[in-house]
Amino acid sequence: MRFRNRLEAGELLAGKLAHYARQPDLVVLALPRGGVPVAHAVARSLQVPLDILAVRKLGVPGQAELAMGAIASGGVRVLNRGVVEAFGLDEDVIARVAAREELELARRESAYRGDGPPMPVAGRSVILVDDGIATGATVRAALDALRRRGAGRIVIAAPTIAAETREDLRREADEVVAVIAPEEFSGVAEWYEDFSQTTDEEVRALLASGRMA
């Protein structure tokens, strides 16, 4: 199975989450940028508000798609110790990559939310949405950030999640929901016919309508 685009993927994912519809203490949080169109479809279907949780993957130098960890708003940093040790990455290397990604994290927070505060999550149920999850590095950073902010029940949801990662995340979140969870998983893009980049303008427009839910 392949999704036509993120909109179709979000609509299918929303069907898996229908039992959460119209819950008053629920918020949908998207991992930008690609997770926003998916999360918007979910939030619209469930009739609950939408916001973002800015997270940046820390890519291995020279192999940017391979995550050695991730950072999230609020000074959260999560490392994949297996990758760090396998590539012999020291703290100086990690710190340089993290510093660069922190700049992009701050830029996105400002570009998408402006001066507005993040949506409160303390004591609330959260559905955390991305367009796909391979290793789970960015999601783990997001989980840490949400726990620091006092979130209640946390549900991880994505149209496609690597089967092994889904099992790992089930030990860390209250629930993990996917439309498909392939055993063979080389990357998120392979499960989409159209995986074109989501623009900053699209993110701002989707968030503006999603917050009014």
pLDDT tens by residue, 45-68: 999 999 999 999 999 999 887 889
| CATH T-level topology, domain 6-54+122-210 | Rossmann fold (3.40.50)
pLDDT at 36 over 60: yes
Average pLDDT of the chain is: 93
* pLDDT value for 17: 98
Residue 147: CB partners within 8 Å, gap ≥ 6? 154
* Region 130-157 average pLDDT: 94
Instruction: Categorize the per-residue pLDDT at 113 as very low, low, confident or very high, splitting at 50, 70 and 90.
Output: confident
* Region 108-128 average pLDDT: 90
* pLDDT value for 16: 98
CA 191/CA 147 separation, integer angstroms? 30
User: Whole-prediction pTM value?
Assistant: 0.91
Structure tokens at 147: 């726990």
Q: What percent of the chain has pLDDT over 90?
A: 82
Locate the domains of the chain by residue range.
Answer: 6-54+122-210, 57-111
Q: Within a 13 Å sphere around the CA of 129, how many CA atoms are in the beta-carbon half?
A: 33
Instruction: Categorize the per-residue pLDDT at 73 as very low, low, confident or very high, splitting at 50, 70 and 90.
Output: confident
CA 177/CA 184 separation, integer angstroms? 18
Q: What percent of the chain has pLDDT over 70?
A: 99
Q: Are strands 76-79 and 63-72 parallel, antiparallel or unpaired?
A: antiparallel
* Region 166-177 average pLDDT: 97
pLDDT at 114 over 90: no
* Region 76-82 average pLDDT: 90
Instruction: Categorize the per-residue pLDDT at 5 as very low, low, confident or very high, splitting at 50, 70 and 90.
Output: very high
3-class SS at 31?
coil
Q: Which of 132, 170, 166, 149 is nearest to 2 (CA)?
A: 132
pLDDT tens by residue, 188-200: 999 999 999 999 9
| CATH T-level topology, domain 57-111 | Ybab; Chain: A; (3.30.1310)
DSSP structural state of residue 4: S
pLDDT at 213 over 70: no
pLDDT tens by residue, 7-34: 999 999 999 999 999 999 999 999 999 9
Maximum Cα–Cα distance across the chain? 48
* pLDDT value for 212: 52
